[in-house]
Amino acid sequence: MRFFIDTADIGEIRDLAATGLVDGVTTNPSLVAKTGRDFIEVLKEICAIVPGPVSAEVAATDTQTMLSEGRLLAAVAKNVVIKVPLTPDGLKACRAFTDEGTPVNVTLCFSAAQAILAAKAGARYVSPFVGRLDDIGADGLDLIADIVEIYNAYPDFTTEVLVASVRGAAHVVESAKMGAHVATLPPAILRAMFKHPLTDKGLEAFLADWAKTGQSILDTKTNGTANGSKSTRRRA
């Protein structure tokens, strides 16, 4: 499973990209608005930091304006993916962009029927929102299972399942077990995946035991390099 991070915060993107765990980025108008910055400038910076796909969402709701906005966004960098809503106009734009060779992420998917339409329109990614379905009493992970099953049944479908609206590590793990291709995670969720109380407890014990030795790995008086050098000279 590939990990995208769902943010427009340049600091977060730069820091998490340094871990080597970030395969791409997803943004939307709400996330960009939080930065208080110009959308195009933010998009340029993100694309320069992350070489993988960067989803940039159009703000228009009619096909022609979506196409105009999307073409402008696609010109920012080669790794831009145009994000459109799962509406009739959005799918028309998806087909046009796909025919032009521009990858598309179809967002706001809430049913398997919608996911089939996105695949037939040529989407590179479809983004089912698991958390928002959970919020209304449905099971968002059931939708992921249905879409993966359907897509696997039709080899001609090349659309990848991009799990969105992720609320915790369990969403990521269960989606991975089902075979979803990508999960887009808020930075806090990705950071939370590092955590386990036994990891913290084990590290604390290791550090306490090491402190008792009074040694420092960086101290050349006690590290193996100095001792090894002396041994080599004696053997010579």
Residues annotated as catalytic (active site), given as ranges: 83
Using CA atoms, how far apart are residues 204 and 194, in angstroms rounded to an integer?
Answer: 16
Residue 158 has, within 13 A of its CA and on its CB side, a CA count of 7
Using CA atoms, how far apart are residues 29 and 76, in angstroms rounded to an integer?
Answer: 17
Tally of helices (H runs) and strands (E runs) in the chain: 12, 8
Closest alpha carbon to 42 in 5, 8, 6, 4: 8
Residue 141 has, within 13 A of its CA and on its CB side, a CA count of 14
- Could you give the angle at which helices 140-153 and 112-120 cross, rounded to 10 degrees? 40
Residue 159: what residue type? T
191 φ, ψ to 5°?
Answer: -65, -35
